[in-house]
Amino acid sequence: MSGTQARKAERAPILFLFADTGGGHRSAAAAIDAALHRLNPDAAFATEMIDVFAECGVFPVREGVSKSYGTLLKVQPSPYSALFHLSNGRTRARIVTELSKPFVRGKFKELVDRMRPSLIVSVHAILNTIARETIDAIGLSSPLVTVITDLVTIHHAWTSEAISDQYVVASPEAARVCRVRGIPRSRIHDLGLPVGDGFSPPDDVAAAKRAIGLDPARQTLLVMWGGEGGGRMRAILRHIAGLTREMNLQVVVICGRDEVLRQWLVQRVPRYAPGAVVLGFVNNVADYMRAADVLLSKAGPGTISEAAACGLPIIVCDYIDGQEAGNLGFVESRGAGVVALEPDDVAVTLRHLLGPDPEPLQSLRAGALASARPRAAEDIARFLFSLLPKDELVAPAAR
C-alpha cells in the first residue's frame, strides 16, 4: 500500500524519503512499506512516501534531479561517473549536500512540521543531512534511519558525519565501510537490500514462462539495464543477435524508460531468434525474472538482489563506474553470476551457461539462491517497528 492509501489513524506516520534518481530508491522504500503493512495489516498506523526533490524542491532542483540522472547515464561515455568521483569524499559530499539545501529545505521543513512523523526513513544519500537538521530544528524526538541501497561502493553522502540514529545496510561489505567511516557498530544493521514480494524462485520454470506468454520449451535470455535503460545495451545486443538465432534463444528485453532504445530494438526484432520480445517500463519484472534462465544486465544493486531472490544467474556486462564498481566482485564472490564486460565475453558466457551441459547454470542458480536475502524487507520492517514508541505498536515476532 502507498502512504496516503494506507492511512488508518491519526497517529504520527512513518515517513519514507527518497528521490527518483534511478528506480532503486523508490522500489526499496516501497518494498519496506509493503512489508510494514503485511506484517501488521490491522494495526492503526500510517506510512507516507515522499519524493523529496519532486514534492519539496524548487527550480532548478525539482525539474532537474531525476531527469538529469537518466540523461547522464544514456550518454556514452557517461559523465555521471566523473560526478560521482568528484563528489565522493567527506568534505566534497558535505559541499554537495549544502548546495542542495536551499532548494529543498523550506518546503521540506513545512511538510515534516505538519506531519510530525513518528519515524523518518531516508532511502537516498543526499536527504540524510536535510532530514537531521529538520528534525533538530522543529524539536522532534523521531529517530532517523538511513537505509543504504548500495551493496559495496558507498558514496560518502550516505555516511556523512554519522548523523542518522541508525543505519541499515545491504551486505557485510557495506557494514565494514560504515565502521571504517566512524559509525559505531551498534548503529549498523546488516539486514539486506529490500526487494518486492514477487521476487522468489519459481516452483516450475516452464509454468512461469507460460504464464507470461513465453514458450516453455525454449531457454530464455532476459536483458535489462535498470529503470533508465541505455548504457551499452545496443552494442551488446547487436553483437549477440546472431548467437540468439544460432542457439534459438527466447530473448526478452526490458528497456525501462528509454523509449528511443525500445523503438530501435523493435525495428531489429527480426535479427534475433523468433519470438523476441521488446518491452518498455514494466511493473512485473519479477514475473520475467522467474521465467528466465539467464539475466544479462548491468551491475545495479537492486537488479542483483532481485535476481538472487529468484535464483536467476546474472551475466554482468556493464556497470556505472563508481557506485556499482564493487558489485562486480560481489556477484562473483557469491557464485551468483559471471562478469563479462566485453561483447565477445558475453557471447562465450552464453554458450557456456546455455549449452548442453546443465551443470554451470545449475551451479550459478544455487549460488544466487544462497546469496539471496528475500526476507530483507520484512526484517527491516521489524527493525523499524522496534524503534516506534511501545504504546503505539508492538513489533511482530520474527519467523
Q: Residue 101: what pLDDT?
A: 84
- Cα–Cα distance between 212 and 228 in angstroms, integer? 23
- Please spell the DSSP secondary structure of 253-313, one letter per residue: EE-TT-HHHHHHHHTTGGGSSTT-EEE-S-S-HHHHHHH-SEEEEE--HHHHHHHHHTT--
Stronger pLDDT, 230 or 292, i.e. the higher one:
292
Pair 234, 266: CB distance under 8 Å: no
Q: Class for domain 205-371, per CATH?
A: alpha beta
Q: Residue 19: what pLDDT?
A: 87
Whether the per-residue pLDDT at 399 is higher than 80: the answer is no
- Cα–Cα distance between 210 and 229 in angstroms, integer? 26
| Across 37-56, average pLDDT | 88
Find the range with the poorest average confidence among 44-53, 140-149, 290-299. Answer: 44-53
* Domain ranges for the chain: 14-195+374-387, 205-371
Q: Which fold has domain 14-195+374-387?
A: Rossmann fold (3.40.50)
Identical fold, 14-195+374-387 and 205-371: yes
| Across 119-140, average pLDDT | 94
Nearest CA to 159 out of 174, 176, 181 is that of 181
Whole-prediction pTM value?
Answer: 0.90
The number of CA neighbours under 13 Å toward the Cβ of 388 is 26
Cα 285–chain centre separation: 12
Residues 301-314: tens digit of each pLDDT: 999 999 999 999 99
Strand order in the sheet with 188-190: 47-51, 14-18, 119-122, 144-147, 166-169, 188-190
Whether the per-residue pLDDT at 190 is higher than 70: the answer is yes
Residues 246-289: tens digit of each pLDDT: 999 999 999 988 888 899 999 999 999 999 999 998 999 999 99
Pair 160, 87: CB distance under 8 Å: no
Pair 350, 294: CB distance under 8 Å: yes
| Across 386-395, average pLDDT | 70
Cβ partners under 8 Å of residue 242, min gap 6: 271
Residue 105 DSSP code: H
Helices (H) and strands (E) in the chain, counts: 18, 12
Per-residue pLDDT band for 156 (boundaries 50, 70, 90) equals: very high
- Cα–Cα distance between 86 and 389 in angstroms, integer? 41
Residue 47's DSSP bridge partners are: 14
The number of CA neighbours under 13 Å toward the Cβ of 367 is 18
Nearest CA to 17 out of 37, 47, 38 is that of 47
| Across 75-84, average pLDDT | 73
Whether the per-residue pLDDT at 6 is higher than 60: the answer is no
